[in-house]
Structure 1
């Protein structure tokens, strides 16, 4: 499973809000809702998040193996 928990920590460290993502990166409110719900987003969105927050991909997402 993909987790966006690193995104929220990175945003806190960089004093960014979801409003920052919408204004600076043109990230839609529906995409932000998907991120909050840990649903899938496009690689273009991941690229935009890294650019907005000036960070690496691992600062945005983490892979968590499913429990067997």
Structure 2
């Protein structure tokens, strides 16, 4: 199972909110909802989040 727990910590440390992801970076609100509920996202979305947050995939998700 995938957990996006590291994402929320990374976002907090970078000072980026879910509101900013949606309104400043153009991330689809449905994608943010999927992240909040630990549902699957595409590799493209993972790559985009890495670019936005300037981090590695390990800073966004972990396998449980």
TM-score range, shorter chain: over 0.9
**TM-score, normalised relative to structure 1:** 0.88
Higher Cα Rg, which structure = 1
Task: Tell me the matched-pair count.
Answer: 64
Off by >3 Å, runs of 4+ in structure 1: none
Partner of 1:10: 10
Unmatched tracts of structure 1, length 5 or more: none
Unmatched tracts of structure 2, length 5 or more: none
Q: CA RMSD in A?
A: 0.9
Partner of 1:61: 61
